[in-house]
A and B are shown apart, each in its own frame.
Chain A
Amino acid sequence: MAHRLEITLKQELPDAEGEGVRQKAANYFGIAVDRIRTIHVVTIDADLKRQQLTSVQEEVFTNPVTQRSSYDPLDEPFDWNIWVGFRPGVRDNPGATAVEAIEDVLGVHLKPGEAVYTSKRYCVTGEGLTEADMDRIAGGLLANDIIQQWRITPKGSWDPKEGIGIIIPKVRLDHTPTVTTLSVVSDEKLKTLSDERNLALSANDIPVIRAYFTNPENRRCREPVGLSEPTDVELEYISQARSDHCNHNTFRGKFIYRDPAAGEEVVEDNLFKTYIQAPTLALKEQKDWVVSVLWDNAGVGRFDEDHYYVITGETHNSPSNMEAYGGAITGIVGVYRDPLGTGKGSKLIMGSYGYCVGPRDYDGPLKPRLHPRRLLDGVIEGVRDGGNKSGIPTPYGQVTFHPGYMGKCLVFVTALGLMPATVQGLPCEEKTTSPGDLVIMSGGRVGKDGIHGVTASSEVFSANTPAGHVQIGDPYTQKKMHDFLLEARDQGMIQFVTDNGGGGLSSSVGESALLSGGCEIELEKVPLKYAGLDQWEIWISESQERMTIAVRPEDLDRFMALSKLHAVESTVIGRYTDSGKLHIKYDGKTCAFVDLDLLESGFPQWQFEAEWCAPEERGLREPVMKAPGDYNALLRDLLARPNICAKNWVVRQYDHEVQGGSVLKPLVGEGRDIPGDAAVIRPVLTSNRGLAFSQALLPFYSAIDAYHMTACTIDEAVRRLIAVGADPSEIGGVDNFCWPSIQYDPETNPDGKFKAAQLVRSCRALRDMCMAYEIPLLSGKDSMYVDGHLTGRYGESHKVSALETIQFSATSIVPDVRGCVSMDLKVPGDLVYVLGLTRSELGASEYYEHLGYIGTRVPRVDMEASKKLYGALSGAISKGLVASAHGVYRGGLGVHLAMIAMGGGFGLDVDLAALPSEGVARNDTLLFSESAGRFIVSIDPKHRQAFEECMAGTAFGRIGTVSEKGGRLTVRGLKSGDPLMDLPVSVLKEAWMAPLGELI
């Protein structure tokens, strides 16, 4: 018998959630609602007695000071009632903790099948509201039909006794787990089966797979275990391992690169080996701080003698594009398992985010599944809950708007961890599995989650089919597991640990078994969320919050006891062997028996045609325009552009202080409201040593050339580190490629060859920059197919592809955090310098974009000069000569002079004639060119000589001085005279805050 408890805030208390929905309904849809009150519904599907129900109502679910509740529908007035609940199988975190609380208070255990489900009622009051309005609010603000269901009831047809009724989204599969064998009589047959089952086997792989299963020797081996033709479990395993996600076939592919104009034609065999692995290994030779790279879940660098830091970056684009909140929280919580599964395990110490979405105010004809504004809100909230509830600070992040991301958004999530150099005398970065070790799965349970990822989204929903292909991460369960595993590590119980992400057990067990040389798995032991999963589903399910651990038999009892203490579920699901076989049984019957080295058995390399076409050949030209007259208005407008303006509402939703090591925060300056250049944390609280972190995204430049896009992105990330005082000799990098499809097809991807050429050029820039700046790549990932098909005004569909995008993350050491420098001007009278040459490089700049141009002169990095300059500046900072330092980034000098003035709240008087430049004769070019390698620095006048000595041999110019508090930004142009630009800094700040500054 199920019971429905309704809880709401007392009348006298404002309902912030309801009010938020009311405002969005008005602002987004122009629907005027008087009032919205929310009611939380807790449906207890368990056999409880009256007094038990009363006791949980009072002790757990109702705060006597602020709330009222009832097992009958609450009499909250409304004109329309909207009920929103989860679909079956969607992770209901509050429902799960409600069970824990009920069991604790009542001292009972719910029976199998009993559960608690949470949902919400929105009581909407207002004149002349229609059902269509309600449907707009429900579908457009409150719910996403992929994971949620809703019901709309007008006042008239509301039954005050029954209310919404009792709704129980329970998964019922009524299915007996079955292993199916698939025929390999012919390539065609196997291809058909692969398509029918969404196996996504590549046509080139099929003959290799058939060859293995038809090989007489293999057949003979399989007979004794009762197998002949491949089972679905085996083919799913192969399909997972061969997927682009797990195997990076694109980066390991063969590219035929042509540049007809230059008459160049070369074969680029394996971009990964040539442009990522080779340079990184070469640099590892020179740099003893690089501890472990290119094999584990994340890269490892030395923090100090006793600690190593760990870093990796991921994207979670497709799921976030479908269900923004669920996709994003699953992404951040998921990437946090990578450091936890690196070496013998690392403590998480920080995370960061990068969002690329369509214009927030888009009102054109295209119909994305989620409007960019709603998508961004959901993504922000997902990463907020995932990070904050994990107790991990999020001190850095970025948001980029561009129409190209309407087809598919990008959600970058980056994670850093810290491990002791040794655990019980053994290197913590090393791990392995040995025959006899037990295979243990810890954390969450297994359901139909993430099986065949997005393909499942086309399925039709019935009342009880699980909608688990879009997941909702559970930071609470994972935080318990995190604390547990680190304690197990410190007690020496962990031989090997890795996370269950893409491919689930299939990948984590498959890969870890390669080390011992085999494994034997008893699949029926795997704990399930609900019965009825097929064996292959259990094997490849991507249910979250799970780690796979190798534990010695002699440590098992201690391991399980510790797991129990931390209230974490751990299960022995098999053991590692040296049989050379992946052997999977279910109730004693073998359902998979293949050679582990099958995956190395000559699968063909993917091939791509890449054809470069220079910007001029693509019809790009420099615009013909004369310099503007009203620079004051121009700068105000640039400061208000979406990619420049204040986005502080995002930053403040993220806890960037937890763990107590915050040194340089995401927002700095006297108003604590201007973005800093990089984040600095002090991960070891007993030490003054720090870790600096920065990221950059400059996809705009790909419109001209992805080589320079990549070079400028890396240069910006590095400059951000230098600006705060990080050590230039210990910079580690993380590359995250997000690319549109590069496989040429005359019909569906006519410019595939060009996009492939852009990828090759991007990789070349990555190598060139890493070698020039001496940056080993500690980690990296690629996410291809950033394309979408959007319906237009007449029902036609348009392919929308993202700009070729790379997010580059950089870390380095800060020997003593007390030496760090922030970007805000500090003292009136200080001298202001610009370091680095300004060139005529307005191509794809914010200025050109503002005026509707692209141009051709994209910024180019002068690697040699920059490296020298960065060394000199970091010397000056470490000598304590610098009061403030800030890189010149998107928007150019004009925008960034405004930033440092707003940061300090001081005026600034500068003369462009003193600016170090090369071949520039125009003021607008000097002010808005985005040439790389530049900084603006302010110093105490008494350090002038010492500072200029430090900078000797680099391009620098003293362009002016800091003026009084609350002063004006005054810029004098070439051929001096009247100032070009002269306006109060407060006016600049108003303009910069205007578009999004009021959001909370």
Chain B
Amino acid sequence: MTTINALVLTGYGLNCDMETAHALRLAGATPHRVHINKLVSREVRLSDYKILVFGGGFSWGDDHGAGVVHAVRFKTHIGEDLLRFIDEGNLVLAICNGFQTLVNLGLLPGIGGDYTTRSVALTYNDCGNFRDDWVTLRLNPDSPCVFTRGMDMIELPVRHGEGKFYTDPGILDKLVANQQVVAQYADRNGKPAGGRFPLNPNGSLLDIAGICDETGRVFGLMPHPEAFNHVTNHPDWTLKKEMMKREGRALEDGPTGGIRMFMNAVEYLKK
């Protein structure tokens, strides 16, 4: 069977790299945690990988806008390779700080294949604070996003202070028209949050939690799929366990929603 090499970035205040690598392994990929400087020095080459993950964390302390300095360093030193990487049909997943980095790189939304213009932003939460909470996302079945294929809803944790999706109305319309809006905050039944806090934890326009480029191969989201890698990560698992017991069943141990996102990526690349 073919090995799918995945590169998970580390260094400069990034974290989440261990659990992201773990999630990729559970999904059948072969993850490698690689320090940003090894890409800069060309000691490691993007061309040896099929999936690139910009994971969560506080790159450069997020001091001048989350992901900004990370984006600048990438653009300055690895910009060309990155564009080639996408051009060659590979996948890019950007989670939380990674999503913030990609919008600052201009890699998202990538409207009309323009991967260098900053046209959307992830700015300070309306609630005015960093917030850790689980959210429900409704996923767009008509989006080209390869990571969410066959999924209509998912629950994941958000952990950020700058996750409010913001852009001008023109861009917003384009994103909707192009089906680039992949994930939106919703209530527990999948009804749109309609901006209501805490269902929509940050005040994102149109409850947007994640978008993809027009190819569906570049995906960024604020919630953390890698943090839902085990049945016991879910906030209601002890209740679910008890209900199953009453039906004489055990807690199911199949792939979690978070892992299914990574599995979708692997399956796409195997085809």
Interface of A: prevailing SS? loop
Q: Please give me the residue from chain B that is nearest to A823 by CB atom.
A: B238
| Contact across chains for A16 and B127 when beta carbons are under 8 A apart | yes
Interface presence of A670 (CB below 8 A): yes
B-chain residues with CB within 8 Å of residue A670 when the two chains form the complex: 236, 239
Interface of B: prevailing SS? mixed
| Contact across chains for B56 and A658 when beta carbons are under 8 A apart | yes
Instruction: Give Cα distance in the complex from A880 to B56, angstroms.
Output: 36
Instruction: Give Cα distance in the complex from A19 to B241, angstroms.
Output: 43
Instruction: Give Cα distance in the complex from A64 to B116, angstroms.
Output: 13
Contact flag A16-B242 (CB < 8 Å), given A65-B121, A659-B18: no
B-chain residues with CB within 8 Å of residue A94 when the two chains form the complex: 61, 63-64
CB distance from A520 to the nearest CB of B (A): 34
CB distance from A679 to the nearest CB of B (A): 13
Interface presence of B19 (CB below 8 A): yes
Instruction: Give Cα distance in the complex from A820 to B251, angstroms.
Output: 12
| Contact across chains for A63 and B159 when beta carbons are under 8 A apart | no
Instruction: Select the stretch in A150-158, A475-483, A592-600, A706-714 that faces chain B.
Output: A475-483
Contact flag A65-B127 (CB < 8 Å), given A93-B61, A567-B12, A685-B230: no
| Contact across chains for A97 and B61 when beta carbons are under 8 A apart | yes
Mask, A632-666, CB within 8 Å of B = 1, is 00000000000000000000111111111111110
| Contact across chains for A658 and B121 when beta carbons are under 8 A apart | no
Residues of chain B touching chain A, judged by Cβ–Cβ distance below 8 Å, are 10-16, 18-19, 22-23, 35, 37-38, 56-58, 60-65, 68-69, 72-73, 75-76, 104, 118-121, 123-134, 157, 159, 166-168, 203, 224, 226-227, 229-233, 235-236, 238-239, 241-243, 245-246, 251
B-chain residues with CB within 8 Å of residue A391 when the two chains form the complex: 13-16, 57-58
| Contact across chains for A1000 and B118 when beta carbons are under 8 A apart | no
| Contact across chains for A16 and B125 when beta carbons are under 8 A apart | yes
| Contact across chains for A98 and B131 when beta carbons are under 8 A apart | no
| Contact across chains for A65 and B166 when beta carbons are under 8 A apart | yes
Residues of chain A touching chain B, judged by Cβ–Cβ distance below 8 Å, are 9, 13-14, 16-17, 19-20, 59-61, 63-66, 93-94, 97-98, 100-101, 104-105, 107, 118, 384, 388-391, 474-476, 479-480, 483, 565-567, 652-665, 668, 670, 672, 682, 685-686, 817-818, 820-822, 824, 826-827, 880, 883, 940, 1000
| Contact across chains for A657 and B159 when beta carbons are under 8 A apart | yes
CB distance from B209 to the nearest CB of A (A): 16
When the two chains form the complex, which single residue of A476, A657, A661 contacts B58, counting CB atoms closer than 8 Å?
A476
Q: Inter-chain contact count A-B, CB under 8 Å?
A: 199
| Contact across chains for A658 and B15 when beta carbons are under 8 A apart | yes
CB distance from A475 to the nearest CB of B (A): 7
Contact flag A16-B124 (CB < 8 Å), given A94-B63, A389-B58: yes
Instruction: Give Cα distance in the complex from A962 to B76, angstroms.
Output: 62
| Contact across chains for A655 and B68 when beta carbons are under 8 A apart | no
CB distance from A985 to the nearest CB of B (A): 16
Most buried by B among A98, A104, A686: A104
Contact flag A59-B72 (CB < 8 Å), given A479-B13, A662-B233, A685-B22: yes
When the two chains form the complex, which single residue of A653, A682, A822 contacts B130, counting CB atoms closer than 8 Å?
A653
User: Top 4 closest A-B pairs, CB basis?
Assistant: A391-B15, A660-B19, A16-B128, A476-B61
Instruction: Give Cα distance in the complex from A9 to B166, angstroms.
Output: 12
Contact flag A818-B119 (CB < 8 Å), given A16-B125, A660-B226, A826-B239: no
| Contact across chains for B72 and A657 when beta carbons are under 8 A apart | no
Contact flag A388-B64 (CB < 8 Å), given A100-B69, A658-B159, A670-B236: no
B-chain residues with CB within 8 Å of residue A20 when the two chains form the complex: 128
Contact flag A98-B64 (CB < 8 Å), given A476-B13, A480-B13: yes
CB distance from A938 to the nearest CB of B (A): 10
Q: Please give me the residue from chain A that is nearest to B20 by CB atom.
A: A660
Contact flag A479-B246 (CB < 8 Å), given A65-B166, A94-B61, A391-B57: no
| Contact across chains for B127 and A822 when beta carbons are under 8 A apart | no
